[in-house]
Amino acid sequence: MDLTDFGAGAQYIAGRCSRGDGDPFQVVNPADGSVVEEVALASTGQVDEAVAAARAALPQWSGATPGARSEALTRLAAVLTDAAADLARVETAQTGKPIKLSTEFDVPGTIDNTAFFAGAARHLEGKAAGEYSGDHTSYVRREAIGVVGSVSPWNYPLQMAAWKVLPAIAAGNTVVLKPAELTPLTSLMFARACTLAGIPDGVVNVVTGAGRVAGEHLVAHPDVAMVSFTGSTAVGRRVAELATSTVKRTHLELGGKAPFVVFDDADLDAAVHGAVAASLINGGQDCTAATRAYVQRPLYDAFVAGVAELYGAIRLGDPLDPRTDLGPLVSFTHRDRVAGFVERARGYATVVTGGAAPDRGHDGSDLTRGAYYRPTLITGAAQDSEVVQGEIFGPVLVVLPFDSDDEGLRLANDTPYGLAASAWTGNVHRSLRATREIAAGCVWVNDHIPIISEMPHGGYKSSGYGKDMSQYSLDEYTQVKHVMFDTTAVARKDWHRTVFGDR
């Protein structure tokens, strides 16, 4: 099976490729506007077909031993390793992200996640057996939930597909994944890799369709027991609303507006470099990217100057060029949305650098055919302004000063979001206070962005609930059953007298 041959169609159901019954859709390379693939989108009938396939595969897969599921995931990690170069190339083609990011972050991160869950599959643990009542032995089973409907985003198509699929199938569930129609190709490759690894047909299915058609039908489907969604908070509310109609379990990883808090004793050079990397990763199209830098007044001017200087040296260009630092945004529509935030901000703030689409790349190449946008630094915005409160999802960093530690932490928490944050300081007491008081699912100290398979990822507040990665993620995809055995062999129990008869 050639993982990169999409000619058979963009639906993967019960181990077979098929064409969609819906409208045609072009997957476009945002670097130059060329068509990567033309696909036909899924109909609601094909969603039903995928759910039926997942339901049919559930008894065999959930009944497999943890060891058997672990071995299958170990084989999957090997298949993905062999396909690493193709996965990176296709990921870059459909998203526009630099090839060095696909090669060094997205693909190896996905392989590592696969290897992690291969091990985690053998550790579905519950409370040990014990006689808690004195007359009974109790223990806890962790069991699969059923068919999981997963909806993944366009910013990290391969990694997010893996984050959805891996813990679900490691726990014995089966999955129907709906990737973003903008970027479905590596999700399809991942599903095909599952088949090559010997994972039974129907365990992992992919329906490539529009959110309002295939996505909403999947989320509301009566045979789907759990919904896992990553995307904007606004769409997450709609997903929760639809899932409520059939009382599904939901897992929502939603928007972010990560604060980057720099105290006056921080290593300035480290903070400047960290802010540039954390704000520009994946073109800023990352829900954990640094978007709001709060810098204590003694370091504020030097921080702004340092970030502006490094922004000016960022190499924009062909994402397949390994020297390119920043590729295009995912689409021209999204580039225009990001630009709209910046243009409106000119009326109340200062655009220090950037704020425009480039004409030429670092090597002199023409970038006007792509959805490029320069790294943009903004100062002078009010805390309640759109550019500070709204999720821009692009290469835009807003810097604001603060005076006291109390003020800095208050400002960091002053948004509806709570996905990620960082604190920069050389003082252990400041760092402990920041990690304790910042309301976010992840708080880094003197760094911002690194993730590891062993640790959970998920938010507070309007950033959603539930965890990706780690053992905590595996637990999300299980249901807990209490099993209780009578140990007395007494027919007429004393507690019966609380219901009928006398003692």
Range list of H helices, 197-252: 216-220, 233-244
AA identity, residue 338: V
442 classed as catalytic: no
Q: Which long-range contacts (CB under 8 A, 24 or more apart) does 90-94 make?
A: 90/4, 90/36, 90/185, 90/186, 90/189, 91/157, 91/158, 91/185, 91/186, 92/319, 92/320, 92/327, 93/29, 93/36, 93/185, 94/27, 94/29, 94/36, 94/157, 94/182, 94/183, 94/184, 94/185, 94/186
Given the residues 253, 391, 442, 476, the one annotated as active site: 253
Q: What is the DSSP string of 319-357?
A: TTSTT-SB---S-HHHHHHHHHHHHHHTTTSEEEE--S-
Spatial separation of the C-alpha atoms in residues 62 and 346, rounded to whole Å? 56
Spatial separation of the C-alpha atoms in residues 94 and 81, rounded to whole Å? 20
AA identity, residue 141: R
AA identity, residue 361: G
Pairing of strands 420-424, 258-262: parallel
Query: Is 155 in a helix, a strand, or coil?
Result: coil
Given the residues 216, 287, 391, 476, the one annotated as active site: 287
Spatial separation of the C-alpha atoms in residues 396 and 380, rounded to whole Å? 14
Spatial separation of the C-alpha atoms in residues 251 and 465, rounded to whole Å? 6
Per the listing, tokens 């181990």 go with: 15
Q: Which residues contact 451 (CB under 8 A, 6 or more apart)?
A: 109, 457, 469
Q: Which residues contact 54 (CB under 8 A, 6 or more apart)?
A: 147, 174, 175, 176, 202, 203, 205
Element spanning 377, H or E: strand 376-379
- Please say whether the beta carbons of 300 and 459 come within 8 A: no
CA distances from 435 to 267, 422, 438, 464, 467 (A): 18, 8, 6, 19, 18
Buried b (16+ CB within 10 A) or exposed e, 171-202: bbbbbbbbbbbbbbbbbbbbbbbbbbbebbbb
- Please say whether the beta carbons of 374 and 340 come within 8 A: no
131 classed as catalytic: no
Query: What is the helix, strand, coil percentage profile of the chain, to 5?
Result: 40, 20, 40
Per the listing, tokens 């299958």 go with: 72
Active-site positions read 253, 287
